[in-house]
Amino acid sequence: MREKAIFTVRKAFSNNAYISIPSTPSIRTSYSPSIIPTLVFTTISGPLPGGKQLVHPLVVQIQNNDEEVLISELNFYIHASGHTISEALAEFKRVLSEELDELIRDESHLGSRLQKQLQYLRSIIKME
């Protein structure tokens, strides 16, 4: 019986390099964090917390350092971490959503770099 994967990590710019992590590891499918590459690029898409939605897939960097997984976007280095890739991705989506909310709230007081970041976030996130 084929097991359902939680997610597939694909390297950006390559269609054939990926890792599938099963949702229910067994002896046959168990894995160790050491087999996950140290640095991977992938895309994320879909819903964000707060009723927001990514407009198009966003390239992010996934970095594993044995103790935590760090997810970063490469334009403004917005990042989040977690003990697993799933936790880090969920935290990254939360941070991305909340960063947009905070910048909108403070829009009249933003300097030029934060105005560019707000413009960038508005271009990749749709408010519903």
- At 33-75, the pLDDT tens digits run 545 456 789 999 999 999 999 999 999 999 988 789 999 999 9
Helix (H, G, I), strand (E, B) or coil at 71: strand
CA distance 128 to 66: 37
Q: Which long-range contacts (CB under 8 A, 24 or more apart) does 15-19 make?
A: none
- At 99-117, the pLDDT tens digits run 999 999 999 999 999 999 9
* Beta strands, E only, the chain: 5-10, 18-22, 39-44, 47-48, 52-54, 58-64, 69-73, 79-82, 125-127
Helix (H, G, I), strand (E, B) or coil at 16: coil
Full-prediction pTM beyond 0.85? no
